[in-house]
Structure 1
Amino acid sequence: YRLHMDALDLNVYKALTQNMILTKLRDFPPAKFSTTCRITDSIVSDGCIIGGHVIHSVVGRNSIIRAGAYVENSILMQDVVVEEGARLINVIADRYTVFRANREVISSELTVIPREHVI
């Protein structure tokens, strides 16, 4: 968690991306941002569709954050869906997790959601 959050710092990000990083990933289209979204101090990966608010978070590839959703201080791995009205604060969500409309996972400590859960 701490390393992901450290990567949000511009100086750390520049140091990490100064040299080429070779990875073996599938090709995804660029992230899409709707006019309703608000992104602050976050990293959003390729293939994402963002309609809600994302604040100080890392969003893994091919994830969807619908309009009206709110994500803060969280790490979402790939293929996570956050539906309308859902609120996530201090969450680490593993792959294929779905947060249904109007659900809240809010914690003062980190909350880890295992793979393929529907909340």
Structure 2
Amino acid sequence: MGVRGGNLQIDNIELNVSDIDRAKAFYGKAFGWSFTDYGPTYCEFSDGRLTGGLTTGGPVRPGGPLVILYADDLAVAQSRVTAAGGRIVRPVFAFPGGRRFHFQDPDGYELAVWSAS
């Protein structure tokens, strides 16, 4: 996932899309974004400042993108999330470039935390 941010800072935004090629065509034409493919279900985008992802790995959620934070230590971040009242909705899993988990905050918003290690 691109160049990582600082510990416990927003690092990435992921959009679930129904068709990666169509999304790449749209964002490339509309905003000049560049893309790096990581298999058939994931593509990283870059707008020159921020990176994010286009994925078909989950349902399309028109209500908003998935905000992803970076953590130096994924286990510590997960403990902090649960101690603060968050609920883990997708346990830690591996992906090309690292591992991550998803959680819901007390209002039901889903976010994720990833780590390169």
Normalised to the residue count of structure 2, the TM-score between the two structures is: 0.26
Higher relative contact order (CA 8 A, sep 6+): 2
Q: Which has the higher strand share?
A: 2
